[in-house]
Structures are given as structure tokens and as C-alpha cells.
Structure 1
Amino acid sequence: MINGLLKPDLAIENCAQLLTVSENSPDLVGLIQNGYIAIKGERIIFVGNKEAYEQQIDRRDCKVIDGSDRVVLPGFVDCHTHLVFGKSRVEEYAAGLVPGGLEKYRATGFKTGMAASVDMTRLEPEASLYLESHKKIDRMVRNGTTTIEIKSGYGLDKETELKQLKVISKLKQNSKADISTTFLGAHGWPMEMSKDRYIDFLINEMIPQVAEENLAEACDIWVDEGYYTAKDAEKVLRAGMDHKLEAKIHTDCYSYIGGSDLAAEMGMMSGDHLNYTPEAAIKKMIDAKVVGVFLPGTDFSVTHPLPFNPRPMLDAGMQVALATNLNPGNWVESQFFVITLACRKHQMSVEEAIKATTLGGAAALRRNHELGSLEVDKIADIQIWDTDNYKDVAYKHGQNFVATVIKRGQVVVGL
């Protein structure tokens, strides 16, 4: 501060629409017409209108970006991905587009689904896993995503799970996005081991090693018919919590067997999917401040028999997030596509969808105190769209609106 004025390193002036997405915004997105924002180092030091900006800011020697005819908003926070995996399953996906095609594909001897991805990830060298994952992250950043959660879960053995987690650790050090790591050893269990024996292996060997080597911040599990039970999940996730790993859960995607209730009982970070979650469990999750994470790309890719309905949760006041669930069976890298689906197929408003891909995603990672909105003292993760109306994101389908991305105060895309 010089002569009582703030002296930023970077400012964005005259933004057609500045969306702060602050927690208590009455319009959900915190719209400021003709808004201004100033950044010092990694942090935001000013957000407001022109009059306040001219009174509080010394813009000499400051890099200025013209926001005329542009929308400025927080970077997307993608709170649920599986982006470190072996080869593509494009042939399987293409076969499944026509009636009977997937059955014919399997009849030729090819594995499908998670079993195929586990085999391919086990075989993939660490170097190529890293290279392909880095490319995905670069594309995601160019689509406005500045923070990404990445899960393991395509190994189901110690060697491959650790390989995935080590790739994620390297990506953390060398990517333009911030990365949060989740250990999802309980994505399924290996054919060579019983479920109960594998649970013991996770609890007694994998979780302690993952925690000791600081390879993850959270532990996750799949709870559904044919996967793990809520009782199984409690064992695994409590073991994780005993080793300082936060808990989250895939649940209620194809059935309701108590996973969302457990999410509330354990005060988890998030419950993800939630297609079959009943009203009573929704209330428990809200009371426990568990974030509901919706994955519209998944419902689209698998032609889900019961696409998620966010209205009961939104109308009851649940904090919700939207994420890509990028994985080899649902190759979605763009939160723009997620917003399109959420608004058109799942009855979310544009404002609800924008909040869910920014502040909601940050809340699901318990980082909404520093990410997900444009407020003073928060990290300057910002995207600038080449449009003057934020509602275009749900109207003009298939576009990447990003002109500029700012990560921790530095321009990483554009200009």
C-alpha cells in the first residue's frame, strides 16, 4: 500500500460481467456489472466497481487486462476425476453405441468396463501414464479449470495404486492446475482376492503406506449393489481417518444401500453420484454439511436408467458441486460440457451450475475458504470468457469460451 492506495501487480478492468460467486450472493453468482478486480502476488486485493477501484487502487506499473465485453469469474474446480489411467476404451465405447454392439465386442474376447481399465493401467509404464495425464490437465486448464481432484483406483493392487499416486504427486509439481489427491483403492477388488481379504489388505497395508508417504489427502470407496456395503465403507474410511485421510464416498449411483447415510454419520467431505438418494438421507447430509457432487457426464455416457435429480437437494439447501468424473468410460474434460448437461438435462439454472462448478467444487474439497470465488484475500484463480453474457455458457453449446486463465495470480492461458 502506497499513500493509502493498494498497488496491485495485475488488474482486470471494466469487466462486462464480473461473477464473484461469493457465498452469500443473493443471485448465486455475485454479479457486478462493469466490475474491477486487482491482484497482488497470488491473492486478490480488490473486487468492486469502478468508483471504488479508482479511490483505492494505484494502477501505475500494474499490468492491466481489459475486461470489456468479457465475463470474468473464478476458475473451475473439478472435484471428482479419475484422469490417471491406462489406454483409451474408445473401441468399447463406439461398439456400445449401437444395439447389441457391446455384446458382440465382448464376444471377441475383449474385457470391458473397470476390468479393462485395471488391466491397461497395470500394464502402462509410469512415464507414459504421467505424459498422457499431463496432456489431459493442460487441456482442462485451457477450458478454465484451475483446481483438479484426481483419484487412484485402476490398480487394485499395491504396485499399480502406488504407481498412480506417484504419477499424481509428480503432476502436482509440474502442472498449471492445483491438484488434490484421493486414494480410491476401494474402487472394486481384484479378481485374485476375496473382497474381505482385500479390505484387510487396504486397512493394514495400503492405507498406512499411502499416509506415511503423504501420497493422498483423502480416501474414497464405491458403495453400491455389487460393490462395497456401507459397513465395508465404514471400516475402510475409518482406517483412513485414523491415518489423517479425509473421507469421501461414491454412493447411490445404481441403488440405495445406506452409503449416503454413512456420509452424514461420518461427516464426509462429499457424497458423489446420488442418483438414488432418498429424502431422509438428503436431510442428514445437509445437517452434516456433506457436499453433494453430481456427475452429469456419467449419466450421459452410460445412458443412466435414473439420471440424477438435483432439485430436491438444491431446494432443501444442500451445498452441491458439479464435476467431470473424467475416466476411461466417461471421457469428459470440460466443465463447459458439464454445465450444458446440468442445465438442459438436469433442470439446474445457469447460476446454480456456475456456482456448483466453482465454489461448490471448492467446498467438496474443503478449500472454499481460499478457492471458488473472487473475494479479497482468496487465491487469484480466474478465467476470462470471450462473451459479454455468462448465460451463453448454457446457450451456445459445444464452445470453449476461455480467452484467458489466471492461476495464482499468473496468466497461464492467453495474452
Structure 2
Amino acid sequence: MIRFDRIWVNVQLATMVTGATDRGEIRDGALGVCDGKIAWIGPRAELPESVAAETRDGAGGWLLPGLIDCHTHLVFGGDRCGEFEERLEGVPYAEIARRGGGIRRSVEGTRAASPEQLHRSAEQRLRRLIGEGVTTVEIKSGYGLETETELRMLRAARKLGAEGFVSVVTSFLGAHAFPAGMDRDAYVDLVCGPMLDAVAAEGLADAVDAFCETIAFSPAETERVFQAARAKGLPVKLHADQISDSGAAALAARHGALSCDHVEYTGEDGVRAMAEAGSVAVLLPGAFYMLREKQKPPVELFRRHGVPMAVATDANPGSSPLLSPLLAMNMACVLFGLTPYEALLGMTAHAARALGLAADRGTLEVGKRADLSLWRIGRPAELCYWMGYGGGLLVERVIGGKPSTPARVGLV
């Protein structure tokens, strides 16, 4: 006799186990949870004799892993709607950044915001992700560019995770841009020294990120940041090759990066290096769309070399004000040519790998954390077909085996 805390029955299962055919689908399935972990999964007809504290009828819906948004900038102050208007009038993103806009504009708003304002505004954005099935989200700093504000951002992110409605993974992104009027070497020294020391002392970061680009940090400067991060025992990831191929993806791969993100301009040498290092390519179609870019990520090269592709919203106030993971998957299919199966892997199994969490979540397998999403759909591809229609499709989210519906976080 097996004892479960909960059993879901009368569900169609898409396990998202990589290598399985048809998304690892199990028709008329059942899934049992014990102590927050998946304890049994399979066809309902094969469910062994068991007792459960609660049995939940899925009414024929599709049960998938909870969605994972593995690249966001949810914590910030202010907005950059004015820059959106400028770009529509033909001003390039790089030109806006050079004139003191872009990231620096968000720095001004974030520095001016109180801890309560940062938390409250980020919580409102997070609710949108939760309403479309997200159970794990990565949140970066990077709009402080000074120690205290960077810490304030990461504390706000940690607080969101402590509230229990979603798992939060944090990335320290002090190397996002250079603050106005500060010497480049001096700022890199600050990021690699006092700033990283303070972040590590409070345990505020799960990884260290950087922006390696012609308008941001050079490969040599990025290398210094990565060396400091690895000395602290922190894994690294990188905003790489977004507007040029500077060899950033290959640099990140040399440091065993969890992921290389954006990667529109990554060449075959970079893709090959990522494959050898096991780095995930995180595709960010929201920024591609919002900036009206033309260079697409080398999806076919990633396929050919076996580089896993994750998909994320890149939710941020400037280049990707996108709070719909379902729309991100739709864009990945329509704009980048992913199949719906690849896009779903990109928001589940491969997104977990991009955060170093593949052993714990991202697929429906015995022993993994019971983060689940139950959908009122006829087939999994509908999650990539509807353009940001999660409120009408999502039936229930489950966090660690405990139901956490949108209503619990104030959504209607």
C-alpha cells in the first residue's frame, strides 16, 4: 500500500522528459505526490493500491511541469516608455544607450525607489507570470550599479521567493552597464570586490551574470567578473552576442556558464564551445521583437550541435516589457522557428537546466519537486498557439505538491 499526500487522476500527462517521444505523453494518467516530491507517475490503470489524503480530478486536462522563466529583470523602478516612442521614430537602441538612456535610465528610477516600492512593483509583475503557470522564476539585479541598490534589488527578489507563491532564483548582474562618470577599471574593481563580497556575504545570489557587448563590458572585463564569481563558488551566465559576435558565448563556455542568453549573433565556434561546455542557449524573443531586430539566433546550429534551447520573457522595462510566458513561447515559434515541443522544453526542462536546477524540476519524474501546471487544453501545442491567453487556459498551479491557484495571489 502506497501512501500519497495527493493524487491527480483523470489527467493527460506531458512529462517533458528530453529524449522521450511526443513530449513523454501519458494519456489518462495519474500522478502521486508525497512530501512535495513526485512519488509515482504513469497510466491511471497501472496506479498501484494506495491511499491519499486528497484525490484531485483533473477533468481530462493536461498536467505539465510548472513553467520556468529563466531570465527576467522583474525588480526595477520607473519605466522607459519614452524610449519606446523614440525607437518607433527610428532611434536605435544602441544610440539611446550611448546618450545615457537604456539601462542607465532604469538605474535612476531604481536608485530612487524604496525597498517597499521595489518589492510591491515587482510583486505585481510577478503575478502576471504566475497567472500563466510559472512556478520558478529567475530575477536579476543590475539596475543599481552601486552596492547598496544592487543589494536592495536582490533582497526584494529574495523576499518574493520567501512569500512562497513561486520559487525565485537570483542572479547578481552588477556588470550590466557602467555608471555615468565612473572609470571603467574602477567600476570593474567595485563589482569584483566590495560589491560581490557584500552580495556573497548575505547569500543573495545564486549565480553571477554580465552583459558582454560593444555597448557594455568587454570580453576582458567580463573575464575578470567571471574569475571573481568562480572564486566565490558562484556559477556564471552571460548576456552574450546580442548585437555583435564578440566571442562572448565562447568566453562564457570556457567558464562553464550555465547559460548564454540572447545569442543572436553567436557563430558556429561559439555554438560548438557551448555544446562542449553544456551551456544552455536562452532565447529571448521579446527583446528581438521589441527592438525590431533582424538577426535571429542560430537555431539550426544549436540543433545540429545539440545545444539545449531555453525560452524566457526577459521581462524588463526597456527592451522586453513582456510578462507573458505563453506569448514568449509563441514568439519563439513564429519568429525563431522553434517547434511547439522545443518551445515547451524551453520553458520547462531546458529552462531548469539554464538555472542549474535540472536535477530538481522541469520534468515530471519520480523524485523531482512537484511543481505542476494543469491546463484546460486539447493538446500541449495550444500553450504556444494562443497568444498570451493563460488566464483562460490555466486551471491550477502546484508548488511543491501544494495547489497554488492564481486566486491565492490576488489574480482574478
TM-score normalised according to structure 2 size: 0.93
Q: Counterparts of 1:207 and 1:75 in 2: how far apart (Å)?
A: 31
The residue that corresponds to 1:265 in the other structure is 254
Give the superposition deviation at 1:10. Answer: 1.5
Please state whether the residue corresponding to 2:88 is helix, strand or coil: coil
The residue that corresponds to 1:47 in the other structure is 41
Please state whether the residue corresponding to 1:328 is helix, strand or coil: coil
Q: Counterparts of 2:111 and 2:13 in 1: how far apart (Å)?
A: 45
The counterpart of 1:128, out of the listed 94, 117, 120, is 117
Please state whether the residue corresponding to 2:29 is helix, strand or coil: strand
Does residue 161 of structure 1 match 2:156?
A: no
Tell me: CA distance 1:253–1:57, structure 2 relative to 1, closer, same or farther (3 Å): farther
Compare 130-139 and 344-353 and name the one that shifted more.
130-139
The residue that corresponds to 2:356 in the other structure is 366
Q: Counterparts of 1:406 and 1:184 in 2: how far apart (Å)?
A: 30
Write out per-residue CA displacement over residues 107-138 of structure 1, whole angstroms, 9 at most, x where no aligned residue.
xxx96321211111111111111011112222
Q: Is the 8 A contact 2:5 2:52 kept in 1?
A: no
Please state whether the residue corresponding to 1:247 is helix, strand or coil: coil
- CA RMSD in angstroms comes to 2.0
Does residue 340 of structure 1 match 2:330?
A: yes
The counterpart of 1:13, out of the listed 9, 17, 26, is 9
The residue that corresponds to 2:55 in the other structure is 63
Give the superposition deviation at 1:65. Answer: 2.6
**Matched residues, percent identical?**
31
Q: Counterparts of 1:209 and 1:339 in 2: how far apart (Å)?
A: 36
2:283 maps to a residue whose letter is: F
- Count residues with an aligned counterpart: 402
Q: Within 5 A, what are the aligned runs for 1:241-390?
A: 241-329=230-318, 330-390=320-380
2:40 maps to a residue whose letter is: F
The residue that corresponds to 1:35 in the other structure is 29
1:203 maps to a residue whose letter is: C
1:321 maps to a residue whose letter is: A
Q: Counterparts of 1:269 and 1:362 in 2: how far apart (Å)?
A: 10
TM-score normalised according to structure 1 size: 0.92
Please state whether the residue corresponding to 1:96 is helix, strand or coil: helix
Please state whether the residue corresponding to 2:297 is helix, strand or coil: coil
2:62 maps to a residue whose letter is: V
Q: Counterparts of 1:24 and 1:7 in 2: how far apart (Å)?
A: 30
Moved over 3 A (4+): 94-102
The residue that corresponds to 1:73 in the other structure is 64
Please state whether the residue corresponding to 1:199 is helix, strand or coil: helix
Q: Within 5 A, what are the aligned runs for 1:192-203?
A: 192-203=181-192
The residue that corresponds to 2:213 in the other structure is 224
Give the superposition deviation at 1:397. Answer: 2.7
Give the superposition deviation at 1:256. Answer: 1.0
Give the superposition deviation at 1:231. Answer: 1.4
Q: Is the 8 A contact 2:327 2:386 kept in 1?
A: no
Q: Counterparts of 1:276 and 1:99 in 2: how far apart (Å)?
A: 22
Give the superposition deviation at 1:94. Answer: 4.1
Tell me: CA distance 1:115–1:320, structure 2 relative to 1, closer, same or farther (3 Å): same
The residue that corresponds to 1:181 in the other structure is 170
